[in-house]
Amino acid sequence: MLIGQRVARLGLLTLTTSLALSPALAGSTITGRASVVDGDTIDIAGQRIRLNGVDAPESWQRCDDAHGRSYRCGRNAAFALGEFLAEARPTACEPVDRDRYGRVVAVCHRADGAEVGAWLVESGHAVDWARYSRGAYRQAQDAAKAVGRGIWQGAFIEPCQARADRANKPASC
């Protein structure tokens, strides 16, 4: 066997072993003190975690309030998430997948059992991303929308559409 082939096989073995041990693929719960990256992404012990099935406004995104005034709804979502998580630590996340950026995609709960994605949608800080949630947060979204909570108080562009517009690409929401 050539040295190059041995190195390639060793590299493949290392990659296979590391993927097999990856928490997202092994189904291991990731638990710890969460720090907020943005309205739908957290970090626990250096592991970037994208919340499954919800889509919060981007940090740069602006929305209109009930009076038509522009505000930084993405920043508000991130701050609200931080406060929510701080109320009952630690956060525990059950991985379901990895996204195209290599982040773990997970369903997360606070120490008191509150499901983070459901709270984000119910509080009006995110939308139900039905493409991934299969409508799991539809009722929470309908409730937030009915009372004008969070982003539902005025006008906004869905986060998926806002990202596409900014990248000058078609949306895949």
Which CATH number fits the domain that encloses residue 72? 2.40.50.90
Q: What percent of the chain has pLDDT over 90?
A: 83
Rounded to a whole number of angstroms, the CA Rg of the chain reads 19
Label the pairing between strands 47-51 and 104-109.
Answer: parallel
Give the mean pLDDT of 147-172.
97
Q: Is residue 166 part of a domain?
A: no
Q: What is the pLDDT of residue 172?
A: 84
Q: What angle do CA 101, 102, 105 make, to 5 degrees?
A: 100
pLDDT greater than 70 at residue 170: yes
Q: Is residue 13 part of a domain?
A: no
Q: What is the pLDDT of residue 173?
A: 87
Residue 29's domain comprises: 23-151
Q: Is residue 87 part of a domain?
A: yes
Give pLDDT tens digits for 3-42: 444 333 333 333 333 444 354 455 699 999 999 999 999 9
> What are the contacts of 161-170 at 24+ separation with CB within 8 A?
162/57, 162/58, 162/61, 163/58, 166/58, 166/60
Q: Is residue 49 part of a domain?
A: yes
Q: Is residue 11 part of a domain?
A: no
- Number of separate domains in the chain: 1
Q: Is residue 41 part of a domain?
A: yes
pTM of the model: 0.84
Q: Is residue 7 part of a domain?
A: no
Give pLDDT tens digits for 79-132: 999 999 999 999 999 999 999 999 999 999 999 999 999 999 999 999 999 999
Q: Is residue 112 part of a domain?
A: yes
